[in-house]
Structures are given as C-alpha cells and as structure tokens.
Amino acid sequence: SPLNPLFQAMESEISAAFDSGEPEDILSRAFKLTVTREDICTLQPLGWLNDRIMNFYMGLLVERSKKEGYPAVYAFNTFFYSKLSSASHKGVKKWTKGVDIFEHDVILVPIHLRIHWTLLVIDLREKTIKYFDSLGQKGDHICKTVLKYLEEESREKRNIELTASEWTLHSMGTEEIPQQNNGNDCGVFVCKFADFISRDKPIIFTPEHMPYFRRKMVWEIIHQQLL
C-alpha cells in the first residue's frame, strides 16, 4: 500500500534519481559499468533503454544466479550479437576468454536490432535456443547464427562436437509471450523476459506491468540488488 513507509522511501528515491542533480552524476557502479543519471532517465515512462542499463541489469541477473537454488546464468553483453553476425565466431572468440559458457544452465543474449531490443535464450540443459520478441517478429536466422557459434565455441574451447540435430530452435509466438503495446518498452520486456527465465519461472507479466517494472529497475540498479 502507498502508506507503507518502505514503499514511500523507495518512491522518493526513484523520483530523486530522475529529477535532482546533473545528467552526468554517477548513480551506480558495478560489472565494470558506470550508470549515470542520464542512463537512469531512460527508465522514465516511454524512455528508450540504452546499452548501459541493459548490460547492468543482465549483470544483476548473473549475480543473483550465483545464489543457492537458481540456474547458473551467463549473459553476453548487448554488443555481442552484432559483432558475431558481422565477424562470425573468430570475431568474438576472445569474449569468452577464461569462461566455459557450457558450464552454465542458461545463456542470455540481449540483441539490439537497430531500433529494437530482443532476447535470445540458450538453455544448455534442454538443448533449446529460443527467441523472444515483444513485437512478435521471428528470429529463426538469429537462432541458427547462435547455434553455429555454439558449435564452433564447443569445438574450439573443449574439443567437443555439438550435434546440431539434438537442438531445438524456436521463435516464441505472439500467443506464447506478452507483447508490447507501444514503441518504447522493448528493452523492459527483454529485461523481464530474462528475469523470469533466469528463475525458471513462467512468463506471466503483461504490458500493464511496465510502468511498475521501470520504477523497480531504477531502485534495483541504484542498490545493485534485485527485489
């Protein structure tokens, strides 16, 4: 309830993040990323989430996955897919230096398509690659590009041939996942798809939750803690 003092304290903190101070003020620092007030302001209603907010939030999801009872999650940053699609495996093979992505359960790949955010999810337990787009576009070619990457990464890093035929690739349909009802919320959808998936939870939110999710993300990023 709005009378709850904790809720009021959070609300005033969120408003202050938007309204007081200079655009270049640093409001959070973690995961080798610095988040400024200007970045945080992209979480205002109808704001367009930028790479820093997306990558910071993915960092929070990965951090949470280290706790007991969560699937082990790895997240690529938002520049990974565009580099992979332009330069193939050799262009990104250094990105996983010192990391065996195959030791994880779930790999999140946030994707920036010029003016739209989408999410690709690799589930290594189920051998599935799923594509989540809150505008309902298909990403079958993106799934294939990433499967090819996994094959090359597996061969190069651990000398194991993946059997492509064992893998299921699927673009989520509009009846399977919630869809945005404006031109601005795709980034929030991607973050929340990733949030639910990284807890092995069914995706049950709706576009009506977006204003609340935006405010909650402000608090979570500033405090570097998921609620």
Question: Which positions are annotated as active-site residues?
Answer: 116, 133, 186
Q: Hunting for tokens 């580099």 — which residue is that? A: 83
19 with 8: CB under 8 angstroms?
Answer: no
Q: What is the DSSP letter of 23?
A: T
Please give the Cα distance from 50 to 39 (Å, whole number): 7
Please give the Cα distance from 98 to 107 (Å, whole number): 16
Report the sign of the C-alpha dihedral through residues 8, 9, 11, 16, in that order.
Answer: positive
120 with 81: CB under 8 angstroms?
Answer: yes
Phi-psi region of 104 (alpha: psi -120 to 50; beta: other; left: phi over 0): beta
Q: What is the DSSP letter of 141?
A: H
Please give the Cα distance from 182 to 134 (Å, whole number): 10
Please give the Cα distance from 110 to 78 (Å, whole number): 5
Please give the Cα distance from 164 to 166 (Å, whole number): 5
